[in-house]
Structures are given as C-alpha cells and as structure tokens.
Amino acid sequence: MSQWSEKLVEGCALRQRNLLDAAAALVRPGGCLTYSTCTFAPEEDEGIIARFLDSHPDFALDPIHLP
C-alpha cells in the first residue's frame, strides 16, 4: 500500500487499455480473450472492461460459472 497512488493507478489503467487493445487484434474470429488482473482498482478492472466493450462491439462478456 505504501507505493499506491492515484497517478500509479492511472498509469496502470492506461497500460491495461493498451495491452487489451493489442491482444484483441490477435484474437482469431470466434476466439476467446481472457482479461485478468491482480488489482482492486475499478479503473483497472470494471472501467477497462466497460471501455473495451464500448470500443470493440465484436466482443462480449461470457459468464463464468463456478461451483
């Protein structure tokens, strides 16, 4: 926690957006793209997914069913 800052979260979120956009370009038609993080910051999780889906209408969320 000592290294956490809003600026760090913003930088990580930008990196995540760029990585996800680059990964999307490599997915074959009908393929699957999995996005996972180890952060609790919504800017890097829900915010990234919402932005990604808004700008990539050919992708959709798949529900995960856990026991």
Is the CB of residue 19 less than 8 Å from the CB of residue 47?
no
- Going by the DSSP 8-state scheme, the letter that residue 38 receives in this structure is S
Is the CB of residue 13 less than 8 Å from the CB of residue 44?
yes
Residue of 38, 60, 61, 64 with catalytic role:
38
38 assigned to active site: yes
Active site residues: 38
